[in-house]
Structure 1
Amino acid sequence: MQKTDIRGLYLITDGSRGEALCQRVEAALRGGVRVLQYRAKDLPEQEMYAEACQLRALCRSAGALFLINDSPELALACDADGVHLGQQDRPVAAARALLGPGKIIGTSNRTVAQAQASEAAGADYLAVGSMYPTATKGDAVHVGLDTLRAVREAVALPLVAIGGLDRDRTGEVLAAGADAVAVISAVLADPSPALAAAEIALQFNVRQPWPRGRVLTVAGSDSGGGAGIQADLKTVTLLGSYGMSVITALTAQNTCGVRAIHGVPADFVAQQLDAVLEDLAPEVVKTGMLHNAEMVRLVARRLAACGRLLVVDPVMVAKGGAALLQRDAVQACREELLPHCYLLTPNLPEAEILTGLPVRNEEDMARAALRLQEMGVRHVLMKGGHLEGEAVDLLRDGRGWQRFPAARISGRNTHGTGCTFSAAIAALLAQGRPLPAAVATAKQFITTAIERAVDLGAGHGPVNHFAAARQLGRMLQHPPG
């Protein structure tokens, strides 16, 4: 990587030590960290050197930059990519004399004048902050977004926003001109550093050209075209992302029902997964029909270590009543798939099967969502299409609750709503929208798709993906649809 590659998710170590730090950093790198800054002020010199070498090796393997906090000497000794200097550390010129022209030097800045002085002194990038109040550094001065915008206008160097940042604040600093977002506890203090890193790192996709974001769907084929792989790929493509597929089962079905199911052999599903993951680097993976326990276990194990956001639509029963998930697969879902799940999108009957709880109203939905989080799911979107009255969806995202109501739309053309809704969320996540915004926009999409559905076939017809994408494209003013 080059000096100009100070961009994306920038992680600063938090003072923890040893094997636990290396494990969490390795997970965060899988999730999308592009720059690591090693900070270990109180560690003896030899231990600091040994740990720095371990972390440097992890960064090299992941293709990420490795920087040392404050010490050009340590950066030189462990062959780091560069050093980050505070305002009270040695001047940029002194660090450059020691490190030479090929290493990266960054500085911390709170004002436009400091940023301009650092640029003039030969710094390669500038950190600006603290953007928000932060518990990580008690003496940090809160400078805010206006200062970041002013620095962006005044200098040409890459800018790293730092201080109090997390998933929900990343979009603001990117809009204000940041090239990178520095975090500490938002990733390293999270029980899943890989997922915490991924949900921040993906937000940098908002600057990518269309098609934006890569989505893999692992699901069954619907010969009628309204659900499954076909609905997923329509949705992903019409919303402006690049779609890939792994087919787990073939179905013979139309709008009147499922006539037959032919499971794809597990070893061939594994070959499909390996082929896509090794070459096309999907950023979000969405699962639908997994059919049997062997398939559930295979998919869970293959996806557990890849660091991608996993959106699970626990497809169990078709509209006409045909079972799409065998009984022995339910326990496999609970034990092996849910603990790796970034977002689970069950409807009420599916939530009942997975939790063993009755789910009849919003209070039941909330109770079931909490139970699912206890089972290892990071975020849960309870879909309320089976409620009486409003079609209310309830999101439990680890920070609290969000309610997404919509008027109930009467009609028979609702085939593929679950597949389409979860695929839309997956595409919007891949495009760089944080989870609450992705769910809200996907809710608009599926509501319009149901409203604009046209009669096809004699049974439960499909929703109108094309009309929904056109309507959403006009609202959001982007090319897809």
Structure 2
Amino acid sequence: MKFKKEMLLLYAVTDRHWTGGQTLEEQIEEALAGGVTILQLREKNLPEEEFLQEAIRVKEICHRHGVPLIINDNVEVALKSGADGVHVGIEDAPVSEIRARVPADFIIGATCKTVEQAKKAEQAGADYMGVGAVFPSPTKTTAIRITREQLYEICTSVQIPAVAIGGITAENITEIRGGGMAGAAVVSAIFGAADIPKAAGELKKKVKEIVTGA
């Protein structure tokens, strides 16, 4: 699936902590129906083969909705499952090494917390950046916080687009208006919601307002 920055508008990241009485796949289906524009499948503790089989199933759900699937960290699972790309953190495999071994249209996202990291990711071949944490994050309690001003500085230092990430909710997202990002990445604000399609729809509308002014 050819990458477009518009795909980043509402970027959902999965987390099994919020599944409750639903399966992760049921939650994903609801999130996509609500308006999620790109999905990252994140599994920190699942055995490799289980992760792969799950990724194959989730890819089918995403593609049915015309939404790209990004795999967190694991390039092998991304390639074997036919996912659209991978997102890597600062301590994961270098973007340049991944770019050298994947198809031309394979999407690579990179976490960036400084202008230097952003420029390095762009030069290495990343398609987009994840920049944050812009608020305290319930899923990454040790994440380093960055200000709206730092967000803007990082986003505008390179040509590749960025998503803001970290503790973003429908209530606080207006605080990063003018941050220069192309979208927002959220976890609990979607998957922890009582009504996932409604939460996704409301978030999408708010993100669009602060990103495009529409």
1-structure distance, mates of 2:66, 2:177: 22
Match of 1:34 among 37, 61, 85: 37
- What is aligned with 1:407? none
Counterpart amino acid of residue 109 in structure 1: C
Per-residue CA distance 1:150-189 (angstroms, 9 max, x = gap): 0122111111100010112223334211111001011101
Query: Which among 141, 145, 150 is matched to residue 147 of structure 1?
Result: 150
Partner residue of 2:2?
2
Q: Number of aligned pairs?
A: 210
Question: What is the aligned partner in structure 1 of residue 124 from structure 2?
Answer: 121
* Residue 110 (structure 1) aligned with residue 94 (structure 2): no
1:13 equivalent in structure 2: 14
1:70 aligns with 2:73: yes
Residue in 1 aligned with 2:168?
A: 165
Show CA shifts across 1:119-164 (max 9, x none).
1111100110000111210220001211111012211111110001
Q: Specify which of 93, 97, 100 is matched with residue 100 of structure 2.
A: 97
Give the superposition deviation at 1:53.
1.1
Residues 205 and 182 of structure 1, relative CA distance in 2, 3 Å threshold:
closer
Preserved contact between residue 9 and residue 208 of structure 2 (Cα < 8 Å) = no
Q: How does 1:242-253 map to 2 (within 5 A)?
A: none
Amino acid at match of 2:101: L
Structure number with greater CO (CA < 8 Å, separation at least 6) is 2
1:282-301 alpha-carbon deviations (Å, 9 max, x no partner): xxxxxxxxxxxxxxxxxxxx
Equivalent residues in 2 for 1:69-468, closer than 5 Å? 69-206=72-209
Question: Secondary structure, in 3 states, of the residue corresponding to 1:105?
Answer: strand
For 1:57, which of 56, 60, 70 is the aligned residue?
A: 60
Contact 2:134–2:146 at 8 Å: present in 1 too?
yes
1:40-77 residue CA offsets vs partner (Å, 9 max, x unmatched): 11111221111111111111011111000001111100
2: CA distance, partners of 1:110 / 1:208? 23
Provide the aligned C-alpha RMSD in A: 1.8
Partner of residue 48 from structure 2, selected from 45, 65, 70:
45
TM-score of the superposed pair, with normalisation by structure 1: 0.42
What residue number does 1:471 align with?
Answer: none
CA contact (8 A) 2:184 2:207 kept: no
Deviation string 1:264-321 (CA, Å, 9 cap, x unpaired) is: xxxxxxxxxxxxxxxxxxxxxxxxxxxxxxxxxxxxxxxxxxxxxxxxxxxxxxxxxx
In structure 1, the gaps of 5 or more residues are: 210-430, 432-481
Measured in 2, the distance between the counterparts of 1:198 and 1:81 equals 23
Between Structure 1 and Structure 2, whose CA radius of gyration is higher?
A: 1
SS at match of 2:135: coil
The normalised TM-score by structure 2 is 0.92
Percent identity, aligned pairs only? 37
Secondary structure of the equivalent of 1:168?
coil
Which runs of structure 1 show a deviation greater than 4 angstroms over 4 or more consecutive aligned residues? 16-19
CA contact (8 A) 1:134 1:164 kept: yes
Q: Deviations over 1:70-100 (max 9, x none)?
A: 0111110000110000000011111112222
Contact 2:72 2:88 in 1 (8 A): yes
- The alpha-carbon distance between structure 1 residues 144 and 208, as it changes in their structure 2 partners (threshold 3 A), is closer
- Separation in structure 1 between the aligned mates of residue 115 and residue 31 of structure 2, nearest angstrom: 32
Q: Which amino acid aligns with 1:15?
A: R
Query: How far 1:202 sits from its partner (Å)?
Result: 1.2
Distance 1:90 1:61 in 2: 30
* Cα contact 1:72–1:99 (8 A) shared by 2: no
Looking at structure 1, the residues matched to 139 and 153 of structure 2 have their Cα atoms a distance apart, in angstroms, of 25
Q: Which amino acid letter does the alignment assign opposite residue 8 of structure 2?
A: R
Looking at structure 1, the residues matched to 65 and 172 of structure 2 have their Cα atoms a distance apart, in angstroms, of 26
